[in-house]
Amino acid sequence: LGPILGIILLITSERIATNFFGKYVGLLTLILLSTNGIIWVGAKHLLADNLFTIVTIIGFFFLIKFLEGKKFNFLVFSSLFLSISGFVRLNGLIYFPIEIIIVASVLIYELYTKKSIHVGIKNENSIKFKFDSKNLLKLLISIIAPWLIFIIFISSFNNYYFGDPSVTFYNIPDDPWVKPGTGSYLSILELKNENFELIKQYSNFVLPYPIYKIETLDFEKIQTERDDPLTSSLLITFSDITNHNNLGLLTFVIMSLSIVLSILTKTKSPIIIIFSFIIFISIIFWSAGHISFGRDSVFGRYLIPVFPLFSMVFSFLIINFLRIRVNKFGRKIKIPIKIIKILIIVSICVLL
C-alpha cells in the first residue's frame, strides 16, 4: 500500500500542476518529486505522510478552483479534503485558518477593487463573488461544516480517552514520553538567532532533494581526495555557502522570484502567491512546533505536504525563465541569461 500511495501522490501532483500551469511545469514537477528521497522513504515504510499530502493538495486544488469560479461545491470539497487531512495527522488543523485567510483575502480584494480575481485556470471563467446574505451564509457553511465535524470528533475522542477535549497525545499531562518545550508557538516570532536558524533548517527540506542533500556532503573529505587547486577552491566556496543551513534561504529566494516573475508576466500570480503563502506558513508552523514540543531533531518528512506545492512554484519559475526571449536584451545581459538557461537544461537532464 505504501508504494501505491507514493505513486498516487506523484500522479496527483503532476495532474494538478498540469491543470494549473501547463504540461511542461507538470512534467518538471513530476521529475522533482520522483527524485525526492523523503517521499520514497514515506512510501517504503507506509508512513502517513504521503496520504496526508495527497488529501492536502487535493484540498488546495479545489480551493483554487473555488476562487476562480466561485462555485460552492468546490469550496465544500476543499474544506472536506483539508479536514480529512486532520484525521490523518492532527496537525492538519493548521489548514483551517489558512483556508479562511486565503478565502477572506480574495473576497476583500474583490470587494474593494470591484473586480474578480483571475487565477488563470484552463477552461474556467473568472466570476466575481456576489456579496449578499445568501451567498455569505453558503460561504460560512461550506467552510465551517466539514471542519466542525472534525473538531467535534477529535474533541470527543480526546475527552473520552484523556478526560479533557483540549488534551491530545502531544500534551498529555505527567506523561514521561512528552518532553517540555522551550517556549510556546508564538516564541518563533521573537527575533532570535536560534529561531532564524531553525527556520532555515526547516526551509532547507523544502528544496528539491538533490539540492537539499548538498548540505550533507563532507567537503573536507572530498577536498583531501582531490589535489588540483581549482577543485579545492570550489569546494571551499561551496562549503562556506552551505554552512549553517544557508541553503534554506534559497527556498525564500525561489518563492520571491516566482512571485515577481508571475506579476511581471501577468501569469498565474494568484496561484503562485497562494502556494508561496502556504509554504511559508507551513515552515513557520513546524519551526514553532519544534520549540513548543522541545524536539531534538529537525525532520524533513513533516514538510512533505508542501513539497508538491514548492515543486510547482519552482517548476513555474524555471519554465517561464526558459521562455524569456533574450533578443530584447543587450549583449551584456543576453550572454549570462543563455548560460543560465544551459545550466538549467543540463541540471534537468542530470535528474532524468
Q: What is the DSSP letter of 139?
A: H
The secondary structure of 213-268 as a DSSP string is GGGGS-HHHHHHH---HHHHHHHHHHHHHHGGGTTHHHHHHHHHHHHHHHHHHTSS
Q: What is the mean predicted confidence (pLDDT) over 240-252?
A: 73
Cell of 302: 513533516
Q: How confident is the model at residue 129 (pLDDT cuts 50, 70, 90)?
A: confident
Q: Which residue carries 529561531 as its cell?
A: 195
Distance CA 171, CA 178 (A): 7
Compute the average pLDDT of residues 257-267.
Answer: 89
- Segment 11-32 shows an average pLDDT of 92
The residue-averaged pLDDT of 158-164 equals 77
- The closest of 130, 76, 64 to 102, measured between CA atoms, is 64
The model carries a pTM of 0.85
pLDDT of amino acid 186: 61
CA gap 222, 219 in Å, rounded: 5
Q: Which ranges of the chain would DSSP assign to H, the alpha helix? A: 2-21, 23-34, 37-44, 49-69, 72-88, 95-113, 133-162, 193-206, 209-212, 219-225, 229-242, 248-265, 269-293, 307-322, 331-351
Distance CA 93, CA 114 (A): 32
Residue written as grid cell 465544500: 76
DSSP code, position 181: P
Cα 320 to Cα 35: distance, rounded to the nearest angstrom = 22
**Lowest mean pLDDT, pick from 30-39, 44-53, 184-193, 313-322:** 184-193
Confidence of residue 117 (pLDDT cuts 50, 70, 90): confident
Q: What is the pLDDT of residue 10?
A: 93
Confidence of residue 35 (pLDDT cuts 50, 70, 90): confident
Q: What is the predicted pLDDT for the residue at 45?
A: 77
Q: pLDDT value at position 236?
A: 60
CA distance 127 to 106: 12
- φ, ψ dihedrals at 158, nearest 5°: -65, -40
Query: Among 26-30, 170-174, 195-199, 297-301, where is mean pLDDT lowest?
Result: 170-174
* Confidence band, pLDDT 50/70/90 cuts, at residue 190: low
Tens of pLDDT, residues 54-97: 999 999 999 999 988 888 899 999 999 999 998 888 888 899 99
Q: Which cell numbers in the block locate residue 219?
A: 567537503
CB contact at 8 A, 52 and 92: yes
Q: Return the pLDDT at 90.
A: 83
**Arithmetic mean of pLDDT, 239-244:** 60
DSSP letter at 86 equals: H
Predicted pLDDT at 58: 95
Per the prediction, the chain carries an average pLDDT of 80
- What digits encode the pLDDT tens for the residues 266-318? 888 889 999 999 999 998 888 877 666 656 566 677 888 899 999 999 999 98
What would the grid cell of residue 331 be?
549583449
Q: How confident is the model at residue 116 (pLDDT cuts 50, 70, 90)?
A: confident
- The predicted pLDDT at position 284 comes to 86
Burial tier of 112 (Cβ tally within 10 Å: 0-12, 13-18, 19+): exposed
63-67, 126-130, 208-212: segment of lowest average pLDDT:
208-212
Asked whether residue 265 carries a pLDDT value surpassing 60, the answer given is yes
Residue 175 pLDDT grade (very low, low, confident, very high; cuts 50, 70, 90): low
Q: What one-character DSSP code corresponds to residue 93? A: G
pLDDT the model gives residue 100: 94
Contact between residue 289 and residue 91 where contact means Cβ atoms under 8 Å apart: yes
Query: Mapping DSSP to helix (H, G, I), strand (E, B) and coil, where does residue 313 land?
Result: helix
Give CA–CA dist 255/310, Å, rounded.
Answer: 8
Instruction: Identify the pLDDT of residue 144.
Output: 93
Whole-number pLDDT of residue 242: 59
Alpha-carbon Rg for the chain in angstroms: 22
Query: What band does 222 get if pLDDT is binned at 50, 70 and 90?
Result: low
165 and 156 Cβ atoms separated by less than 8 Å: yes
Average pLDDT over residues 102-107: 92
